[in-house]
Amino acid sequence: MPARIIDGKLLAKQIRDDLAQKIKAMVNAGNQQPGLAVVLVGDNPASQLYVSMKQKACAEVGIYSEEHRLPASISQEELLAVIERLNKDPKIHGILVQLPLPEGFDEQVVINHIKPEKDVDGFHPINIGKLQTGQKTFVPCTPAGVMKMLDSIGIDLTGKKAVVVGRSNIVGKPVAQLLLQRNATVTICHSKTNNLAEECRQADVLVVAVGHPELVKADWVKPGAVVIDVGISKVGSKTVGDVAFDEVKEVAGWLTPVPGGVGPMTIAMLLTNTVAAAN
């Protein structure tokens, strides 16, 4: 029996609809409209696409949004000055600097300059530290979306074997921490892992976030496993994930598609974090 599909587009729409109602109620009660500032440096086409999608999503739910497009020739000091202005702007509750930054910028210095209470990406060291110690904080958007998808299928993660392929600060490490907080037994794998396929085969829940097109094949997946594909790549004219969808769907119990899986959830969780920042 083919895997059941976890529809990220549908789930994200439900979250956006709920947020729109929440924002409307906030404003009607005399509270300030949530505000998000997106900072884009340079002209990376993928980054431009992501920023336009975020702007559109803000408009849909009623979040005030600003877009600050800066040339790649701007100095780091000038970028930090823009962030400082946004840190002080009472209309802005969330600040997102679109990554990756052009060559020559120190991304960590830039992230560190965002006030932790406006860091809706969840990348500031203070927010990362709070996540690691189980405190309430902004959870990075993609890992938060992954957890919402798991919640949507009603899986109890207690005692489950979870394998995360990828160790980035943006996805791999935080999603592993979130799974651990739900009492899963977590293994983090990466490019230097020996017998990667064998590690994946042990997983009741497999989260793949490496950016390697169709890395995970059917014989890497435990029958009935939940497979969350975070990767997205272009192969010719086709958009694919890190999981070979057509063959893995014959083995997995649940599977996320690419596109239409984790991607829409990431934006939905950015909106969720922005609304939380305004409260």
Active site includes 9? no
Main-chain phi, psi angles of 265, to 5 degrees: -70, -35
Q: Which residue pairs from 229-232 have beta carbons closer than 8 angstroms and sit at least 24 positions apart in sequence? A: 229/255, 229/256, 229/257, 229/258, 229/261, 229/262, 230/142, 230/146, 230/166, 230/171, 230/262, 231/258, 232/258, 232/259, 232/263
Give one DSSP letter per residue of 137-187, joined into a string: -PPPHHHHHHHHHHHHTT---TT-EEEEE---TTTHHHHHHHHHHTT-EEE
Nearest to 272 by CA among 97, 11, 90, 98: 11
Sign, Cα dihedral of 226, 231, 232, 236: negative
Neighbours of 98 (CB within 10 A): 21
Task: Specify whether 118 is catalytic.
Answer: no
Distance set, CA 172 to CA 78, 144, 145 (Å): 31, 12, 13
**Contact, 58 vs 271, CB < 8 A?**
yes
Q: Which of 98, 148, 160, 249 is catalytic?
A: 98
- Catalytic residue, chosen from 118, 119, 121, 173, is 121
* 54 a catalytic residue: yes
Catalytic residue IDs = 54, 98, 121
